[in-house]
Amino acid sequence: MAYENSDMTTPPDLTQSLGTGPEPEMLPVYQDFLPPCNHGCPAGENIQAWLDLAQAGEFEAAWQVIMRDNPMPSIHGRACYHPCEPVCNRESVDGAVSIHAVERFLGDSALEKGWMPEITVPDSGHKVLVVGAGPAGLSAAYHLRMFGHEVEIREAGPEPGGMMRYGIPAYRLPRDILDKEVQRLQKMGITLTLNHKVEDAVKEKQDGGFAAVFVCVGAHISKRTDIPARDASKVLDAVTFLRGMETGEQPIIGRRVAIYGGGNTAMDAARTAKRLGATDAMIIYRRDRAHMPAHDFEATEAEEEGVKINWLSTIKEMDTDATTITIERMELDENGRPQPTGEFDTLEADSLILALGQDIDSDLLQGAAGVELKADGTVIVDDTFMTGYDGIFAGGDMVPDERSITFAVGHGKKAARYINGYLNGEKYVPAAKHPLVEYDKLQLWYKTDADVSVQPTLEIEERVSGFEEVISGLSEEQAIFEAQRCYSCGNCFECDGCYGSCPENAVIKLGKGKRYKYNYDLCVGCRACFLQCPCHAIEMAPADDPRVVAIREEATT
């Protein structure tokens, strides 16, 4: 069992331990690797580090580590689609660590106890304008403030949050949580100006004396499609529909509602329609489940709540006098693209909600010298997020990339680092990443089953009767247990496996938190430590490898 996942089926040859063999060609070195969860996080969180602190019950310290990269953990623990979890190495054993649930626990603890991040640098004297109070703007403002800059966010709407407020329903993201996360940013000294639409980014930069501007207006313009209909008033767009839940401008949708689209917004619109009393909420999507842009768990939760999904269907006509929608059946070709079949069905619906994606309103950059826009309204930026206009940066939905709150938060953090470098006259250079460690590199000789902690959920009847939060958080005991499920992939957690397995006593303990080092005068390169390291924090390297040489030189000085 000790050699599971290795290329050895028998114990290593230890004859060199007699000291009569040749100088070993390969020697062990301690090395940090990149865990797949960290690699998979669009916000760039050091997930493994804060899980380590959380499993020890050091919750505030764990939260502070999250805050180095993401200023809204309570939101992300709910609304992020946690791409860190499908790549978790524990997924291959008994289920991925529920990273989002532990993050939510830490974020909620911070809101409850009033934890604040500490700004450790003096004020820089630079002013930066952030246009848009969505996830990218809030993230950029936070990180710029942590760098000591004076930051003002100007938001066109009456409330901050962007699509977190106007696109994610309250049953997924309670508004008091969103408000508290934003209020913490304001307590840090960030100015938030609402009901202020920036019409000309260049003019506002000059008039306000801002040294830099970060433009991150969200995708709020719904895409349209030609559907022959006799009464256009019964055809709505999903963004307007969901926004109406916040503004009180809720349209009348009737008892039978059709939703056209297969993304997360379509799922949210259908689930919201059910909560508003629709007896039938029917999603119409032209491809199959495997090709839908929505996350699978979103479709599952929608179906649990009574939403019917018509796969491989497209709308040809809506006769609103008779409230009849004509749909054509589709089939996928060899490339997975939907093709018409000439077969038609009809559905009865009182209204149709279009959820076909959103476009950008980039008018505020029109006419700015050097700024280039794509046909879809997104902005061309360089590798520092700067547009063609000196000092104006763009990110979030404004630039081509995946659209989610976590990608947006990651954009805000990265842009803030480049803006800080720009303001200081020093280009920011990201640190090099360690090599990625995957499941086949682990030596799980201690493998035990510890099933993922389950978050409580409302019963179906309770879900569809209102907008109460569907999924609850973990208890403190559950959060600690879940954090303890982390394998610490690729990074030493001082389990003493190498120390106990070495037959030559070549491993030296340096004290708690300081890990170990090798005495190469004693090491015979037998690989026992390498094969006993469960997290693959040890590599076998040639004797002339620079890492080995450096350790030898250190030992002689």
What per-residue confidence (pLDDT) applies to 9?
Answer: 41
Please calculate the CA angle 103-79-195 and round it to the nearest 5 degrees.
115
Please calculate the CA angle 168-459-303 and round it to the nearest 5 degrees.
60
What per-residue confidence (pLDDT) applies to 487?
Answer: 95
187: nearest Cα among 115, 133, 242: 115
- How far apart, in whole angstroms, are the C-alpha atoms of residue 514 and residue 243? 52
CATH fold, domain 222-358, is: FAD/NAD(P)-binding domain (3.50.50)
Pairing of strands 191-193, 212-215: unpaired
Is the distance from CB of 406 to CB of 41 less than 8 angstroms?
yes
What per-residue confidence (pLDDT) applies to 470?
Answer: 95
Tokens of 79: 């609304």
- How far apart, in whole angstroms, are the C-alpha atoms of residue 335 and residue 354? 26
Q: For the purposes of burial, counting CB atoms within 10 Å of the CB of 462, is it exposed (0-12), middle (13-18) or buried (19 or more)? A: exposed
- How far apart, in whole angstroms, are the C-alpha atoms of residue 491 and residue 30? 9
In the chain, what's the furthest Cα-to-Cα distance? 95
- How far apart, in whole angstroms, are the C-alpha atoms of residue 112 and residue 235? 43
Are both 127-219+361-424 and 222-358 of the same fold?
yes
- How far apart, in whole angstroms, are the C-alpha atoms of residue 166 and residue 354? 16
The reported pTM is: 0.90
- 182: DSSP letter: H
Tokens of 381: 């930026």
390: nearest Cα among 416, 363, 371, 411: 371
Please calculate the CA angle 493-499-505 and round it to the nearest 5 degrees.
155
Give the count of beta carbons closer than 10 Å to the beta carbon of residue 325: 25
317: nearest Cα among 337, 285, 346: 346
Q: Which amino acid is residue 173, in one-letter code? A: L
What per-residue confidence (pLDDT) applies to 226?
Answer: 67
Q: Where are the alpha helices (DSSP H) in 81-222?
A: 99-113, 135-146, 163-166, 175-187, 201-208
Q: How far apart are the first and last CA of the chain?
A: 40
- 369: DSSP letter: T
In 60-211 the beta strands, taken as DSSP E runs, fall at 127-131, 150-154, 191-193
List the pLDDT tens digit at each of the 557 positions of the chain.
333 344 444 444 444 444 445 789 999 999 999 999 999 999 999 999 999 999 999 999 999 999 999 999 999 999 999 999 999 999 999 999 999 999 999 999 999 999 999 889 999 999 999 999 999 999 999 999 999 999 999 999 999 999 999 989 999 999 999 999 999 999 999 999 999 999 999 999 999 999 999 999 987 777 777 676 655 668 888 988 999 988 888 788 999 999 999 999 999 999 999 999 999 999 999 999 999 999 999 999 999 999 999 999 999 988 766 578 999 999 999 888 999 999 999 999 999 999 988 777 888 998 899 999 988 788 999 999 999 999 999 999 888 778 889 999 999 999 999 999 999 999 999 999 999 999 999 988 766 778 899 999 999 999 999 999 999 999 999 999 999 999 999 999 999 999 999 999 999 999 999 999 999 999 999 999 999 999 999 999 999 999 999 988 888 87
Class of the CATH-defined domain 15-33+491-556: alpha beta
Whole-angstrom CA distances from 178 to 73, 77, 165, 182 are: 10, 12, 8, 6
Q: What is the pLDDT of residues 374-415, one digit of tens each?
A: 887 889 999 999 999 999 999 998 887 788 899 999 999 999
Whole-angstrom CA distances from 1 to 11, 315, 428, 443, 500 are: 11, 58, 47, 9, 16
- CA dihedral defined by 100, 106, 110, 113, rounded to 10 degrees? 140
Domain boundaries, the chain: 15-33+491-556, 36-116+467-484, 127-219+361-424, 222-358
Can you say whether the dihedral through the CA atoms of 128, 133, 137, 141 is positive or negative?
A: positive
Tokens of 445: 């000789």
Q: For the purposes of burial, counting CB atoms within 10 Å of the CB of 153, is it exposed (0-12), middle (13-18) or buried (19 or more)? A: buried
- 254: DSSP letter: -
What per-residue confidence (pLDDT) applies to 376?
Answer: 79
CATH fold, domain 36-116+467-484, is: Fumarate Reductase Iron-sulfur Protein; Chain B, domain 2 (1.10.1060)
For tokens 């969103």, name the residue. 178
CATH fold, domain 127-219+361-424, is: FAD/NAD(P)-binding domain (3.50.50)
